[in-house]
Amino acid sequence: MQPADLGLGDSSLHRYLDGEFWSLKNELRGLLGGCPLFRPRYDLSLDEMRTLTFQRVTFTMGLPLLKRAIQDQVEKTRNFVSRSLVIGEVLSIADMATGVKCGIIYWLFGGAIRNLGGPAHVTQWLQPLQEQKYTGMFAMTERGHGSNVRGIQTEATFDFSAQEFVIDTPCKNAEKMYIGNAMYGNYAAVFAQLIINGRSQGPHCFIVPVRDENGSLYPGVTVVDMMHKEGLHGVDNGILRFDNVRIPRENLLDKFGSVAPDGQYHSPIKDKSARFNAMLAALTPSRLAVTFQAMGSMKLGLTIAIRYSHSRRQFGPKAREEVKIIEHQTQTLRLMPHLATALALTFAGRYASTLLDEDIFRGKELVSSRTLQALVAGLKAYSTWENVSCLQDCRECTGGMVVVRELLAQYTKQCEERPVSSVLRNWAESGSDRLRTSFLAFNMDTVGNLTFLLKAVHFRERTLQRGLVARIYYKVMTEKEDFFSAWNSCLHHITCLSLAHIHRVSLEQFCLAVRNCPDQEDQALLKKFCLLYGTKLVFQERAWYLEHKYLTPMTSMRIRRQLLHLCNSVKGDALTVISAFNISHASLHAPIAGIANPKAAWGLYPAPQHSLAGERARSPWPKLGAKL
């Protein structure tokens, strides 16, 4: 595709959204968009996809623009973090796997050397990395320690006589896991407990050779291919094991802690915990890269979904052309808030990256900007959640209208049959308990009572139904709107009613199933989950109940506490329930669930203590009265 066909544009808004890096981003968009390697492929095997990704990475990192960015990182040129991040965003949009792999090799591995190493490390390692003489990987996460990095178990023991560190994986939980570029990379930045004279100085980072330039593994290193990564096959994740691999003393990245030839440990930070925090803080910019990748995905998904919504037509006023689906209320309600969020993330991400650049430019250690670290960590979680929810909404289309048409028809019929004061009658009816649930004699006070929950969901359904009829009647009869536009302006209301209806039926059926359960123990167990389900339904809609004064602020807070309490109290019962789902191991084939899978032998975690079959882990009946 020629750059002219790329559909790239220019306006004040284009420039404002891309900020000071507008021309940089546009240049990169043009280069990647014009490169045949980046044409999307879905037809490749795992190996072919990995090979293509490697070629894409090589092409990308060979671009003068990218070489300059790496050089900026070496020289800590002004704003180099922000520049790297926007490059990462553009790369991820062109191809997520390329974005991820470049991030691993140049920002995680390269960043470890730059931020945790001394000047000699930078000279020795970053120059050839820039020239693509070799590639690296970032080996922090272990099987047993992902979020809790401080507890990693890989060991780097100092051998005084040889002036070497011995890198070792002492147990299965210490294996380095989900390591990107593991099937190609030559060197790994390995986090390990630094042990001198039998005493650990906490986690430090070491450069460990993994395979030579021909791709042959060095002795003592084992790599297990984690194979397929659905949706991201281009990223080769693997597991690394080290069996007493010896590396020179100089391979310790020693900015925050060094070992002298005589074995003396020295660190500018005395406290072990503070030292570890300083190391992690130095990696903050890499964490922010995830936010920029997520933002890139949101922009891509929203661009597709919004363009489609402005083109595709479906439904509309009778005997007229169907309307564009963007005209449907639910469509804008689903897409527009995500678009606003993508914008908010654009500016919040820029804010965070600017703060990082300023700190670095001023020579401030990142560990002292704890506020900034909190912001970056929070943005990572927030942006990836928003991304998932955004892309899911982009995929789904509007639905559920059939349900409500029927509920309205029912209502109309009722009204026809009882023309006089039918609304009042209906009100009275919805207040009474038509659900024949009085059999449920739970010995609990109001909120923790199934009857209370059933009445609540029933009240909500009837109120929404009555309100919808009134709104549509008013719009059509009084305001003379045509039915389509009256219906459309109530579409959110309609969707709520659909779900309220299903919630009520589901809770009712659950209650009946509890009542009819022949085994007393089973019944008690199911009762707890039924209570949890009803609590969840009311909790989800507590705003509505508060608005309609069905709940007081006090009872609403009680619902929240009840939900928390119930969730905690059934976690043992959960094993009993999933066991009764009776899913054969052949279908599970999930090593993380303790079911061995010959295709992924590396993934096995121990089975939970209660086996799948038949046994039960009973929890006591939740003490609702006492704790809430």
Burial letters 315-325, b for 16+ CB under 10 A, else e: ebeeeeeebbb
Comparing CB distances to a second copy, the nearer of 56 and 249 is 56
8-state DSSP, 4: G
Comparing CB distances to a second copy, the nearer of 406 and 482 is 406
8-state DSSP, 264: -
Collapsing DSSP to helix, strand or coil, 582 comes out as coil
Of 16, 101, 90, nearest to 57 (Cα)?
A: 101
Q: Which of residues 408-467 bind a second copy (CB under 8 A)?
A: 409-410
Residue 282 lies near a second copy (rule: CB under 8 A) = no
Q: Are 191 and 231 in contact (CB under 8 A)?
A: no
Q: Which of residues 29-48 bind a second copy (CB under 8 A)?
A: 29-30, 32-34, 38-40, 42-43, 45-46
Q: Are 346 and 17 in contact (CB under 8 A)?
A: yes
Residues 572, 432: Cα–Cα separation, whole Å: 37
Q: Which of 310, 418, 434, 618 binds a second copy (CB under 8 A)?
A: 310
Comparing CB distances to a second copy, the nearer of 79 and 555 is 555
Residues 87, 94: Cα–Cα separation, whole Å: 11
> For the chain, how long is the longest CA-to-CA vector?
100
Residue 353 lies near a second copy (rule: CB under 8 A) = no
Residue 141 lies near a second copy (rule: CB under 8 A) = no
Which residues have C-beta within 8 Å of that of residue 334, sequence separation ≥ 6? 393, 396
Helices (H), 440-490: 450-473, 483-488
Q: Which of 63, 196, 269, 333 binds a second copy (CB under 8 A)?
A: 333
Residue 339 lies near a second copy (rule: CB under 8 A) = yes
- Minimum distance, C-beta of residue 143 to a second copy, in the bound complex (Å): 9
Q: Which of 122, 196, 227, 435 binds a second copy (CB under 8 A)?
A: 227
Compose the 80-119 pattern: x for residues touching a second copy by CB under 8 A, - for all others. -------------xx-------------------------
Of 189, 67, 179, nearest to 128 (Cα)?
A: 67
- Minimum distance, C-beta of residue 191 to a second copy, in the bound complex (Å): 16
Residue 7 lies near a second copy (rule: CB under 8 A) = yes
Q: Are 494 and 328 in contact (CB under 8 A)?
A: no
Q: Which of residues 529-558 bind a second copy (CB under 8 A)?
A: 529-530, 532-533, 536, 542-543, 546-549, 553, 556-557
Q: Which of 59, 265, 382, 442 binds a second copy (CB under 8 A)?
A: 382
Q: Which of residues 563-622 bind a second copy (CB under 8 A)?
A: 563-564, 566-568, 570-571, 574-590, 592-595, 597, 599, 605-616
Q: Which of 378, 428, 473, 482 binds a second copy (CB under 8 A)?
A: 378
- Minimum distance, C-beta of residue 486 to a second copy, in the bound complex (Å): 14
Q: What number of chain residues touch a second copy (CB under 8 A)?
A: 177
Q: Are 234 and 98 in contact (CB under 8 A)?
A: yes
φ/ψ of residue 13, rounded to 5 = -70, -40
Q: Which of residues 61-80 bind a second copy (CB under 8 A)?
A: none
Partners of 224 in the β-ladder = 239
Comparing CB distances to a second copy, the nearer of 10 and 213 is 10
- Minimum distance, C-beta of residue 397 to a second copy, in the bound complex (Å): 7
Crossing angle for the helix pair 284-309 and 329-361, to the nearest 10 degrees: 160
